[in-house]
Every structure is written in C-alpha cells, then in structure tokens.
A = this chain, B = another copy of it.
Amino acid sequence: MNTGKIVRTIYFEDDAVKMIDQTKLPSKLVIHTCVTVKSLIEAITSLRVRGAPALGVAGAYGVLLSAIQHKEENCEQFYMHLREDAKAIAEARPTAVNLQWGVVAQEKLLDISAPIEKTLHLLKENAKSIADKDLENNEMIGKNGAALIEQNDSILTHCNAGALACVGYGTALGIIRFAYAEGKKIHIYVDETRPLCQGSRLTAWELLHENIPSTLITDNMAGFLMKQGKIQKVIVGADRIAANGDVANKIGTYSLSVLAYHHNIPFIVAAPTSTIDFSCNLGEEIPIEERDGNEIIYWHGIQNAPESVHTYNPAFDITPANNISAIVTEKGIATQPFIETLKQFKP
C-alpha cells in the first residue's frame, strides 16, 4: 500500500466484492469477501469499508453483485430484484452522498428491454470504470491540492481520507502524498478521531507505510497545537458537500474548522466532484447518521464508561462554508464564495 495502485482498498474479483477489512487494522491486514448483497450491506454498515469515495465504488459494485446473484431469473424478476437491492445498498448509510451516487450511476444503465447478459456486461464495465476513475481523480486531487502546500508545512488531518477511504491514493492524504513525493518537507499531525479511531488506526498506518513523518494526537490536542504555532494547514475529506460549500464530514471536523478559523490557519477540504450534492442547497439539509452509543462506551469489549450511561453519537457534523478556505477536486480548486465557484463542477 503505497500509492494505492498495487493493493486496492476495494475491488471486484471472482464474482465477489473484495475489500481490506478496515475494522481489523492496524493489527491485521485482512481481505474480506462479499458474495451477496446482504453481506456487502453488512460490510458497509459495520465500516469494513468506509470513506465517501470507497462507498461510491462499493455502491457500484453492489449493483453488479446483485445482477450476478439474480442473473438466472426471468427479466421481470431480475430487474425488480436489482431495483430492490439498489435501494437497500443506497440506504445502508445516509450521510456520504457517494454511496447513492455509485448506485445511481449503475441504475442509469438499466434498460428493462435489454437482455440480462448485456446489462451484466454494462454494469461490470461501468463499475470498473468508476473504480479506475476514482484512482485517477485522487491523483488529480493530490496534484491540484499540493499547490497549496508549502515547504516545512505541518498539516493536521482528521479521520481517514486516505487510500483506505477510496480505491487508493486518497483525497486529503492524496494531497499529502503528492506534496511529499514532490520533495516538500512536511509533517503530518493525525487526530485519532474518536470513537472509531480512523485516524490512529488507518491514517497513522498509511503514513507509517510510506515513511511520511507524522505524529499521532488525541482529538482534544488540536487546539493546543494550533496555539503553539505547530499547524500551518488543516486538510480533511468530505462525505457530502452542499451547493453552497457547507461540508458534512466526520464528527469533529466542525470543531477543527472553528479552531483553524480562530488561529488563522487555512482549512482545506479535498473530495472528488461526485461528493458535491447540487440537489442540496445547505448543510442543514444533509442527513447526519447517528450510530450506536456502544461505540463510545466500549473499545473492543473493554469498558470505557458506565454501562448504563446515556450517549449521543453523531458520526458526522456540518462545517459551514464560511470556515473553509478551499475545496480541492479533481477538476480544480474552488474558493470563496463557494456558491459561485462550485458551479463550475456541475455535471
């Protein structure tokens, strides 16, 4: 796992969706195989695969998997089951728009008058193209965003917007990878990102594997680092971007954006244009997934709080456009006012 070109986070092989099981990292690198739509949905809800761009690809592969499962049925049943599965996959998680986007990109190919074999072929080619395009996009995001990184920058990142959040290479970490490969001397501070620690488990793991200098901190240390002048940029990914530039991303992103604003530190969001939801005018319209409170109370079965404690566990928050300096996409960089500048990326 260096540029993500060798090992893909998610791929299709032998009529199955295969993925690095991200719940097992950093202790074990395990490939998890889904041969049914049901098992793929389980993999999505339990976060074996996560990250907006990877979920887009999972959505596309999911529809393909459904088609393979149902290919022996008659045409009517085949397309009916395909639509049912597509809906279930798209609804597996609510916040990242890419999941729905990947499903819809496949649904557009469905022509009830077409023979099943032809549909199967189209879905397979399209899924492959979406996965390949994800890698290409991330390298372009990396290249575009690296222009914002200066020599000797220390960069804070939150959660994992790396190769593991995509097919490979990464969005926020794509920029970091590109800047580092260009020879820029940079240091990365990694927020552990409670409750599921995608920062400490995944981002720290990716950076170590590529020898990019990094330091792991807990989420509540970020402000103190900024105050000490140790952070020159914050770069995060996105799960959904509203037309006005409001960004839904991993819980804690909003706090970081306020801290960055307070300390005059550029706050950069990196995402493919497929993450922009032009049907969504404002961040407030983005549904926020609330997850099981046991994610906070237990850590791999070890108790961290009284069992009967009441919890609140939103998985995402909304960062207002006003707190964001730049949104870096594969098609270029948008800056304030985003309501105008994002339009250029409209499909």
Using a CB–CB cutoff of 8 Å, the interface residues on chain A facing chain B are 26-27, 189, 191-195, 197, 200-201, 204-205, 208, 213-225, 227, 251-252, 254-255, 258-259, 261-262, 293, 296-297, 299-300, 302-306, 308-314, 317-318
Contacts and interface: CB of A to CB of B under 8 A. Distances in A.
A26 B305 contact: yes
B312 A221 contact: yes
8 closest cross-chain pairs (CB), A and B: A220-B252, A223-B255, A200-B305, A224-B317, A194-B218, A219-B220, A300-B302, A26-B306
Contacts of A27: 303
13 contacts: A191-B220, A192-B194, A195-B218, A217-B296, A217-B311, A217-B313, A218-B219, A218-B252, A220-B220, A224-B254, A225-B312, A227-B317, A262-B262
Contacts of A208: 306, 308-309
Number of copies: 2
Q: Is the interface of A mostly helix, strand, loop or mixed?
A: mixed
Contacts of A201: 304-305
B258 A223 contact: yes
A251 B299 contact: no
Contact of A255 (B204, B259, B309, B314): B259
A216 B309 contact: yes
A309 to B, nearest CB: 5
Given A220-B220, A224-B317, 4 more contacts: A192-B194, A215-B311, A216-B312, A222-B255
Nearest to A25: B306
B216 A305 contact: yes
